[in-house]
Structure 1
Amino acid sequence: MTRVRIVGIGCHPGQLTLEAREAIAGCDYVIAADKGPDDPLLALRRTICADLGVELVAVPDPPRDRDDPADYDGAVLDWHDARAAAYGSVVAQRPGTVGFLVWGDPAFYDSTIRVVERLGVPYDVLPGVSALSLLAARHRVVLHDVGRPVLVTTGRRLAVEVDAGHDNLVVMLDGRLQATSLDGDWDIWWGANLGSPHEELVAGRLGDVVEDIRTARARAKAADGWVMDTYLLRRH
């Protein structure tokens, strides 16, 4: 009998909830994608597993077309299928309780739930501290005005959403800082590597702080070996 536990681990090992720690400790082993010899996020997962006395099985991550293919959705689906096949070969040989450790929270721009569904085994999901929550906390802001919505989107879709009339957005997965191409007057609350010892924060009028953000982003990547940034963008 195989059972999968998808566990949100927050944005730093110190943000593991008690529920998450107990779930990981109860796994027979954890599967994690191996993106290469210098994968710092795999190293952090190893640290968590070692601390809780659980074996980590690293699975080479299938390649993905990241050059903005014409059929973006199709490329992502193919990648999910390839990941499911790679993970499924491990699970078939090693039944038991299997953990997947998701950076942040599994509900936001993460493929783990979709991939695990393809395995056809029972699974549950435990939430983690998300980058959205950390961003709001670090900047001491509410992500929306009173009685108003907030749209969560990606850098790839930012221009489309703004053209559709959205003026209060949380943006994730924006390595190219697409906000700099927007017209109009915007305020930004930006953060990178939130929760880590080297997190970076910048806030202000977008036009005034763009270079500060670029500098801080480079500093975060140099310090941690990776960078994940998130920001709240609101029309001034």
Structure 2
Amino acid sequence: MIRDLWLVGIGTGSHAHITLEGQQALRDAAVILLPRKGEGKDDLAALRRRILDDAGASARVLPFDMPVRDDSLPYQDRVSRWHDEIALRWSAAIAEAQIDGPVALLVWGDPGLYDSTLRIAERLSPQPVLRVVPGVTALQALTSAHAIPFNTVNGPVTVTTGRQLRDNGWPDNAETLVVMLDGECSFQQLDPEGLHIWWGAFLGMDEQVLESGPLSEAGPRIVDTRATARAAHGWIMDTYLLRRM
């Protein structure tokens, strides 16, 4: 049983992204759950361990294997069952270790922005007492890396996903659009006229790569750069901002 669950945002790749509050939470935790995401993604676990070392955390680290989503299922069912299995693996790891005290999870980016950790925590029974420590978001890391403002003067920003962009196109009346969770470079389906893109992958990491420019020119470069980087690392985390100019 997990009585106290702390979700600690760790930023988008740089071990320096974690806040002082986050570092203290890791020092105070009794145990830290560490996901293992399979072959070719060992550097994700290594980054988390470096963050723990830098924070001076002495908690027991419990690795657990992340389940694989069943791509044969409809999208919503696939994600729901995946979340169910993750929650079971959290509980199993804690039960086996027989540890009493706060349990911490290092969450990529910020636990409240396009991350499912809070939804997975809702599946635990009984419900733990939740504590969320915010982290640097992909939005912050992207706009900082390109040295651009997030919004125009008094202008709105729409945050969406690649799936939504593919299914519904450019949102009505959107001026600035931030797209997350897009593994298919869905900007290719847009009319590039008048659109400028700022894209980044491995934000905050030594491997960080950036591209920007008019969508008609930068779009093909991004597709090629993304494919090359993913092949080299075995995984990729990226996001981009589009703006009508």
TM over 0.5: yes
2:181 aligned residue: 173
Give the TM-score of the pair, scaled to structure 2.
Answer: 0.87
Deviations 1:130-187 (A, max 9, x none): 1100111121222222222111111111141515443421001111101011124111
Secondary structure of the 1:162 match is coil
Deviations 1:119-140 (A, max 9, x none): 2111100000111001111212
State the alpha-carbon separation in 2 of the partners of residues 224 and 13 from structure 1: 18
Checking the alignment, whether the CA contact within 8 Å between 1:49 and 1:56 is kept in structure 2 is no
Secondary structure of the 2:11 match is coil
1:16 partner amino acid: I
Structure 1 residue runs of 5 or longer lacking an equivalent are none
State the alpha-carbon separation in 2 of the partners of residues 136 and 196 from structure 1: 15
State the alpha-carbon separation in 1 of the partners of residues 173 and 83 from structure 2: 32
Checking the alignment, whether the CA contact within 8 Å between 1:6 and 1:124 is kept in structure 2 is yes
Q: Deviation of residue 210 (structure 1)?
A: 1.9
1:38 partner amino acid: G
Checking the alignment, whether the CA contact within 8 Å between 1:3 and 1:121 is kept in structure 2 is yes
1:4 partner amino acid: L
Deviations 1:185-222 (A, max 9, x none): 11101111110012111111011112321343245435
2:120 partner amino acid: V
Aligned counterpart in structure 2 of residue 216 of structure 1, from 194, 204, 225: 225
1:149 aligned residue: 156
Q: Deviation of residue 34 (structure 1)?
A: 1.6
Deviations 1:24-77 (A, max 9, x none): 11111111222214322122112223443333211111221346x4x3222211
**Residues matched between the structures, number:** 234
2:116 aligned residue: 111
Aligned counterpart in structure 2 of residue 194 of structure 1, from 179, 187, 203: 203
State the alpha-carbon separation in 2 of the partners of residues 153 and 147 from structure 1: 20
Secondary structure of the 2:6 match is strand
Aligned counterpart in structure 2 of residue 76 of structure 1, from 76, 79, 82: 79
State the alpha-carbon separation in 2 of the partners of residues 19 and 75 from structure 1: 34
2:10 partner amino acid: I
CA RMSD of aligned residues (A): 2.0
Map 1:17-28; keep pairs closer than 5 Å.
17-28=19-30
1:35 aligned onto 2:37: yes
Aligned counterpart in structure 1 of residue 51 of structure 2, from 35, 43, 48: 48
Structure 2 residue runs of 5 or longer lacking an equivalent are none
State the alpha-carbon separation in 1 of the partners of residues 131 and 169 from structure 2: 32
Checking the alignment, whether the CA contact within 8 Å between 2:3 and 2:102 is kept in structure 1 is yes
1:182 aligned onto 2:179: no
Aligned counterpart in structure 1 of residue 91 of structure 2, from 81, 88, 110: 88
Checking the alignment, whether the CA contact within 8 Å between 1:199 and 1:220 is kept in structure 2 is no
Q: Deviation of residue 4 (structure 1)?
A: 1.1
State the alpha-carbon separation in 2 of the partners of residues 217 and 126 from structure 1: 31
2:225 partner amino acid: A
Checking the alignment, whether the CA contact within 8 Å between 1:16 and 1:128 is kept in structure 2 is yes
Secondary structure of the 2:230 match is helix
1:209 partner amino acid: A
Checking the alignment, whether the CA contact within 8 Å between 1:102 and 1:112 is kept in structure 2 is yes
Checking the alignment, whether the CA contact within 8 Å between 2:40 and 2:233 is kept in structure 1 is no
